[in-house]
Amino acid sequence: MRVMGVDPGLTRCGIGVIDAARIHRPALVAVDVIETPSVSAVDTRLGALADAFDRWLDAHRPDVVSIERVFARHNVSTIIGTAQASGLTMGLAARRGIPVAMHTPSEVKAAVTGSGRAGKAQVTNMVTRILRLNAPVKPADAADALALAICHLWRGAGAAGSTPGATKDVDTRQGGGRQGSSLTPAQQQWAEALKSAGTPRRR
């Protein structure tokens, strides 16, 4: 099971990929933060983000993309940019027929740390321990992206909210009926493994 986590943002978009041959032992594949200059036009920034995300999808070929669900905040301009980046990454994944899952910040924190109110430092610390890294993942956007991927591995592989089906060809999938009606073969195997192994223990 290969999961790409995305912490969406127009100025800074965290992106990370993990593999898990065993449920309790996910491993880091790649992580980075895609940045776009705030002085540039929004369409130019979204174009640059699309190009970078396309390269990541082509290079790492994930089984599923896990994206943070966007919530309204006090800073309207920030939330608009976050929503634009989120929709862009969802669309690019869907164009390849790659399933997309959405997870709230509290779900991610609870999955990784055991508390839905954990701070960024706690999330970073647990991501570092879970992936058995020699140093903390920085910046926070990168750690959050990996936490989203871990959350989906442990909690979301069998979720009904994942979209969509058993093929990575978007035209075939859309022609076959309602999106979200089935899981990819990798997701099906992972969901069965999760049921057999139970919830991973946090150390």
* Residue 141 designated active-site: yes
7 is in an annotated binding site: yes
Reading the block at residue 16, the tokens are: 């990370």
**Among 7, 63, 107, 144, which one carries the catalytic annotation?**
7
Q: Is 85 exposed, middle or buried (0-12, 13-18, 19+ CB in 10 A)?
A: buried
- State which amino acid sits at residue 193: A
**Among 63, 68, 107, 144, which one carries the catalytic annotation?**
68
68 is in an annotated binding site: yes
* Residue 7 designated active-site: yes
Q: What angle do CA 22, 108, 111 make, to 5 degrees?
A: 50
**Among 63, 107, 141, 144, which one carries the catalytic annotation?**
141
For 61-185, list the strands marked E by DSSP.
64-68, 100-103
Local structure of 34: helix, strand or coil: strand
Reading the block at residue 52, the tokens are: 């970078």
CB of 31 closer than 8 Å to CB of 146: yes
- State which amino acid sits at residue 51: D
63 is in an annotated binding site: no
Local structure of 4: helix, strand or coil: strand
Q: Which residues participate in the annotated binding site?
A: 7, 68, 141
What residues are annotated to the active site? 7, 68, 141
* Binding site as annotated, residues for Mg(2+): 7, 68, 141
